[in-house]
Structure 1
Amino acid sequence: MRFMLIVKATTDSEAGVKPSQELIDAMQKYNEELVKAGVLLAADGLMPSSGGIRISYPEPGGKPKVTDGPFAEAKEMIAGFTLIDVKSREEAIQWAMRMPDPHGFGQGEIELRQIYEVEDLMNTPESLEKEAALRKQVEEQKQA
C-alpha cells in the first residue's frame, strides 16, 4: 500500500525560509530509517508557491486557465512530501508519527493520504494493459 505524507506549508516555507541544519539532519536520519526499512519511494521539498503555476478548468470541456503564484492561505499549500510503500494503514501512521516536525518551529502539519492503485481506478482489461505498458516504458527510460 502506498501512502503520501504531505507536509503542509507555513508562512515561513511560503516565504522561502530554508530549514535549519538541525532539521535537515533530523529529516536525513528519518529518511535513512525509511530506506533501511525498504519503504521509501521518494521524498522532496517543494519551492514556495510564488514560483508555482496553477492550471484550473473553470468550465466543463473548456480551455484550461493558467494562474501564476503565489497562492492564498499557506495552510492550504504543500511544502513537501514523502512517498512510502508499506503493508498497512497502521504502518503508514506509525511512520508518519516518527517524522520530525517538518518546519521545526512547532508549526508542522502532515497529512497522510493513501494512493490509489491502478486496479482501484481501472476496471477494464484494456485500460489495465495500457497502464502496464506505460509503466514499463517509464521504467525502461529510467534504465537507459
Structure 2
Amino acid sequence: MYSRLKTHLLYSLSLFCLLVSTPVIAENLKMTVWKDPYCGCCVEWVDYLQANGFEIEVIESLRIGVREKLGIDMQYSSCHTAQIGDYVIEGHVPAEDIKRLLAEKPDAVGLAVPGMPIGSPGMDNPLYGGQKDRYHVLLLLKDGSSVIYNSY
C-alpha cells in the first residue's frame, strides 16, 4: 500500500513539475493582418505564420490610418501590419519572436521589422538567389522608442 501511494505521489509531483516548468506559449495564436491586396510577400508571410501554428484573419486594405491607430510610428513601417492580443506586429517578424513576445508579455506596443529585408519570413523567395540581409526585430516601447529584441 505504501509503495503504491509513494509511486502515485511521485507521478503526481513529476506531472506537476512538468506542467509548471513548461513555458506557456500563447493560449491563442489568432492574429489579424492588414495587408495591401496586391502584395505577394504579405501572402508569403501569412502562409509562413499559418505553417507555424497561427490562425490568421486577413484584411485586404491599403492600411490608411491602421498603423497610427495601433501606435506604430512610420520609422518602423513595413508592408503589412498585424495585431495579436494586445500586441502589434509590423513587417516580416519571425514566428518564434512573436511566440516569445506572447510568452514573456513585456509592457510594450509590439514588434517590428522595418522595411522588407531579403531573407526574412515572406521575403525569402528563391528569386532572390539565397540572399539574406542582416536585420533586427525591434521591441516597440510605449514611449515611442525601441530596443533590439533579436537579430538575424
TM-score bucket (shorter structure): under 0.3
Identify, as 1 or 2, the structure richer in helix: 1
Larger Rg: 2
Under a length normalisation based on structure 1, what TM-score does the superposition of the two structures give?
Answer: 0.25
Under a length normalisation based on structure 2, what TM-score does the superposition of the two structures give?
Answer: 0.24
